[in-house]
């Protein structure tokens, strides 16, 4: 494991036309390309669930951005967060 956490997320980020928050030292588990969007899984073990949720809320902001209309769904019991939305190029996240 890279102790500096300099992971390459380009397999995912190259497909989206906007910046997105990726938790500190998250490990990219995989990327699934679909005809109308992209999906990825990230394993986060160095940052608490609550910190990740709060950081996503801060990143997404209280208002919808014109180029990144997104929703966040939280499942504290399973410690999962699902981000979905429409990107500025029309594709879905």
Residue 58 lies in a domain: yes
Residue 5 lies in a domain: no
Q: Strand, coil or helix: what is 92? A: strand
Residue 2 lies in a domain: no
The number of folded domains in the chain is 1
At residue 63 the predicted structure's pLDDT band, cuts being 50, 70 and 90, is: low
Residue 54 lies in a domain: yes
The pLDDT score that the predictor gives to residue 2 is 47
The model's pTM: 0.67
12 neighbors 38 (Cβ within 8 angstroms)? yes
Residue 93 lies in a domain: no
At residue 92 the predicted structure's pLDDT band, cuts being 50, 70 and 90, is: low
Percent above pLDDT 70 for the chain: 67
List the domain range (segments joined by +) for residue 56.
10-87
- The residue with greater pLDDT, 43 or 17, is 43
């Amino acid at each position: 494991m890279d102790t500096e956490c300099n992971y390459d997320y380009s397999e995912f980020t190259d497909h989206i036309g906007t910046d997105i928050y990726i938790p500190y030292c998250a490990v990219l588990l995989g990327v699934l390309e679909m005809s109308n969007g992209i999906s990825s899984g990230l394993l986060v073990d160095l940052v608490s669930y609550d910190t990740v949720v709060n950081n996503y809320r801060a990143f997404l902001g209280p208002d919808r951005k014109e180029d990144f209309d997104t929703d966040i769904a939280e499942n504290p019991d399973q410690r999962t967060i699902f981000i979905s939305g429409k990107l500025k190029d029309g594709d879905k996240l």
